[in-house]
Structure 1
Amino acid sequence: MASYIDFNQPSLWASAASIAFNPTFWNIAAQQEYHNKVITKIFGGNPRLGCYALAVTIFSLGIFRDYLYTEALAAQPTHPTLLSPLIKYSAIPLFLTGNTLVLTSMWALGVTGTYLGDYFGILMDAPVTSFPFNVSSSPMYHGSAMSFLATAIWYGKPAGILLTGLVVVAYSVACKWEDPFTGMIYARRDEERKKGGKKGL
């Protein structure tokens, strides 16, 4: 399988760099916003506008990442086994499931919930526990990885499977950082609510 991956193609490395860069960027940006209000200050002290701007940036980077991924696959060798009908068409339910997880999680969270609004102080009243969060702890990440894998299988590209592995690693690292930090943000909010409630007694 490794012989069907052309490591000399610059497009492969460009795609890998984009996959690694995106979660790194949005986590650094979110941390700077939470601690220093960098983005909010840029937008005149309006955290919601800052969150929307970050959302547009992250979404655009995602589109560019997907473009680089398809360009990388186009330049890579095809493995005949992956083109067998049974394997090739397994990509369809995989892709549909992945996109369902991504789109339904975005619908459940809304723009600010999806794009790091909690770092801007825009918090949800309660955690979302309905679908797709009742089947996946990180449906956007899991769904995105499934879509990457489905695309690789559909086009019969072992390089795509390798890049999907990088997607999984990048998102796993992001989760190890994001989940505890987000939990801390909401724990602080709940503690402040309790203190506020006691003052009102």
Structure 2
Amino acid sequence: MTPPPRASLVDPTQPTLWLAIGHVVFNPLAWNIISRNEYRNKTITKLVGTPHRGVALLGTAIFVAGLSRDVVFAWAMEHQPKLELLDTPLVKYSGYTSIALGLLLVLSSTYQLGLVNTYLGDYFGLLMEKRVTEFPFSVLEHPMYYGSTLNFFGTSLIQRSPAGLLITLSVALVYQIAQGYEGDFTGKIYAEREKKRGKKK
């Protein structure tokens, strides 16, 4: 295998780069399609018997796919050039800080939503009583997406990987699209719930 030129920051000939970007695009797209279908047709619920089992099945799939994405991301960076300019204590500590903030956002989001609603339980009809407004939702509309992006960014800095930063950019763009796509539909679900409650009263 011929190594990339020294001047190259990213080697586009490495298939792992495109595999990682493909993984990044596929995951949120797949979950949104599957969850919307579940809301309309109850396909998973019919398959496994109850909404809670459906959430458990989908949540497991999302978790495993996330792990797979992270492994492919690390694998992609191993096959890419390093930028020695990033080999400084400031960059390394910035990377660790980014990961710490990212984990804070992801874990606190999961705590506030609970596992059921973290893994799209509202699409299965398992709605929360009211919208969560406590931290981190008090400062960000979609903290889990931002937290995940920060984890990718921090890891890329620590690995001194321009390709990692490119993949992180794809993560940020895909999540930005997913926020509008998912947020609007979730808002619609809760609006319909409130409309039904109003009719009953």
What's the TM-score, normalizing by structure 2? 0.95
Change (3 A) 1:90 1:120: same
- Correspondence 1:68 to 2:72: yes
Change (3 A) 1:2 1:185: farther
Q: What is the distance in 2 between the residues matched to 1:83 and 1:135?
A: 32
Counterpart residue identity of residue 34, structure 1? Y
Q: CA deviation at 1:2?
A: 8.2
CA deviation map 1:61-120 (0-9, x unaligned): 000000000000111100011112211221111110001000110011011110111110
Counterpart residue identity of residue 34, structure 2? A
Q: What is the distance in 2 between the residues matched to 1:3 and 1:126?
A: 51
Q: What is the distance in 2 between the residues matched to 1:77 and 1:182?
A: 41
- Correspondence 1:25 to 2:30: yes
CA deviation map 1:123-163 (0-9, x unaligned): 00001100111111111000000000000000100000000
Q: CA deviation at 1:4?
A: 1.0
Q: CA deviation at 1:188?
A: 0.6
Q: What is the distance in 2 between the residues matched to 1:74 and 1:135?
A: 35
Match of 1:166 in 2: 170
Of residues 93, 115, 133, the one that matches 1:89 is 93
Long gaps (5+) in structure 2: 1-5
Long gaps (5+) in structure 1: none
The percentage of counterpart residues that share the same residue type is 44
Q: What is the distance in 2 between the residues matched to 1:83 and 1:131?
A: 34
Q: What is the distance in 2 between the residues matched to 1:3 and 1:27?
A: 36
Q: What is the distance in 1 between the residues matched to 2:131 and 2:61?
A: 25
Runs of 4+ more than 3 Å apart: none
- Correspondence 1:191 to 2:195: yes
Q: What is the distance in 2 between the residues matched to 1:88 and 1:156?
A: 9
Match of 2:141 in 1: 137
Q: Report if the CA contact (8 A) 1:2-1:158 is conserved.
A: no
Of residues 143, 154, 174, the one that matches 1:150 is 154
Q: Secondary structure at the match of 1:3?
A: coil
Of residues 110, 120, 123, the one that matches 1:119 is 123
Q: What is the distance in 2 between the residues matched to 1:2 and 1:109?
A: 46
